[in-house]
Amino acid sequence: MTQSAGRFTGQTIIVTGAGAGIGRATALRLAAEGARVLAADISAANLESLAQQAPAGSIVAVAGDLTEQAFIDTLAAAGDGRIDGVANIAGITDGWLPPAEMDDATWYKVFELNLTAPMRLARAVLPQMLARGKGNFAFVSSEASFRSSLSGVAYTSSKHGLNGLAKSIAFYYGTKGIRSNVVAPGGVKTGMDTRFRSDYAKEITAPILETAPPSVEPDIIVHSILWLLSDDSPNINGVILPCDGGWTTM
Ligand SMILES: NC(=O)c1ccc[n+]([C@@H]2O[C@H](COP(=O)([O-])OP(=O)(O)OC[C@H]3O[C@@H](n4cnc5c(N)ncnc54)[C@H](O)[C@@H]3O)[C@@H](O)[C@H]2O)c1
């Protein structure tokens, strides 16, 4: 990382999905740059090891299920009335199920975490941000928010929707000191479940996946997330930023 240390000193930032992958790397970097991180994940054990890895006292572990409204309330309240930023990173995949094979359970599960939870979290923290006239959201969507060939219908639709949520926040509250932007990664080396539950999807997406630039380490995505969350990106609002090695140009 080349950025200067301390960009987030004194700030309280929520990071969802902080137990693993991109969320964990984001939480660690925010903590290294001075933030108090409210680290949310369903895995209490992963949050515990995260706290041990970060500077003492920088991580507040808030373990629970983001698809439950009660947990969203607990998470928002953990800021004691001051949340400076939210990195919405938690997300799940859909087994690449195409429209004719999608089941309701997968559809709702994916939407609950990938889209409803970020909306509920934004709804919970916006009043205090608006009262202070300052707040910042970074959402992690996906290359799959631009096209339909990189996942099943639920993931694709939820990530397209997440871009819309981010833009809506920017539109309604941009003049009130709130910024809201998206990072759309290409392939990232994490433990995310990318297994196919559809032979048809596997067959039809294979040639497209062969065109993908190489997957990157989570830290590469963190550069973009922290840039958007920091004061290094003033006047940037409602932007969908691909972080994909140029995949969208192909
Ligand atoms: N890995 C990739 O190639 C890739 C590419 C593009 C976009 N993304 C997006 O990046 C984000 C992070 O993905 P990742 O690869 O780091 O995934 P990951 O699976 O490594 O980490 C996801 C984290 O979310 C947590 N989580 C899952 N369900 C939860 C729930 N209900 N409540 C609370 N926490 C929950 C998991 O415990 C895990 O720690 C996701 O939104 C994903 O869609 C990933």
Q: Sign of dihedral through CA atoms 76, 79, 80, 84?
A: negative
How many whole angstroms separate alpha carbon 144 and alpha carbon 187? 10
Q: Which whole-number Å values give the CA distances from 109 to 8, 98, 114, 134, 157, in the listed order?
A: 33, 16, 9, 32, 13
pLDDT in the model for residue 210: 94
- Residue 3 in any domain: the answer is no
- Residue 32 in any domain: the answer is yes
Read off the pLDDT band of 4 (50, 70, 90): low
Q: Which whole-number Å values give the CA distances from 102 to 14, 48, 110, 117, in the listed order?
A: 32, 36, 11, 21
Please name the residue whose Cα sits nearest to atom 25 of ligand 1.
17
**Residues 35, 11 contacting (CB under 8 angstroms):** yes
* Residue-range definition of the domain harbouring residue 157: 12-243
DSSP assignment, residue 164?
A: H
pTM of the full predicted structure? 0.98
- Residue 231 in any domain: the answer is yes
Read off the pLDDT band of 2 (50, 70, 90): very low
pLDDT in the model for residue 145: 98
- Residue 220 in any domain: the answer is yes
pLDDT in the model for residue 6: 84
- Residue 1 in any domain: the answer is no
pLDDT in the model for residue 1: 43
Ligand 1 centre to CA of 23 (Å) is 7
CATH number at 179 reads 3.40.50.720
Residues at CB less than 6 angstroms from ligand 1: 17, 19-23, 41-43, 46, 65-67, 89-92, 113, 140, 142, 185, 187-188, 190-192
- Residue 4 in any domain: the answer is no
pLDDT in the model for residue 5: 62
Over range 185-212, report the average pLDDT: 97
Ligand 1 centre to CA of 250 (Å) is 25
Residues 130-187: tens digit of each pLDDT: 999 999 999 999 999 999 999 999 999 999 999 999 999 999 999 999 999 999 999 9
Q: Which atom of ligand 1 is nearest to the CA of 92?
A: 43
Name the domain count of the chain: 1
**Residues 103, 97 contacting (CB under 8 angstroms):** yes
Residues forming the active site: 141, 155, 159
How many whole angstroms separate alpha carbon 185 and alpha carbon 28? 19
- Residue 250 in any domain: the answer is no
- Residue 112 in any domain: the answer is yes
Ligand 1 centre to CA of 239 (Å) is 21
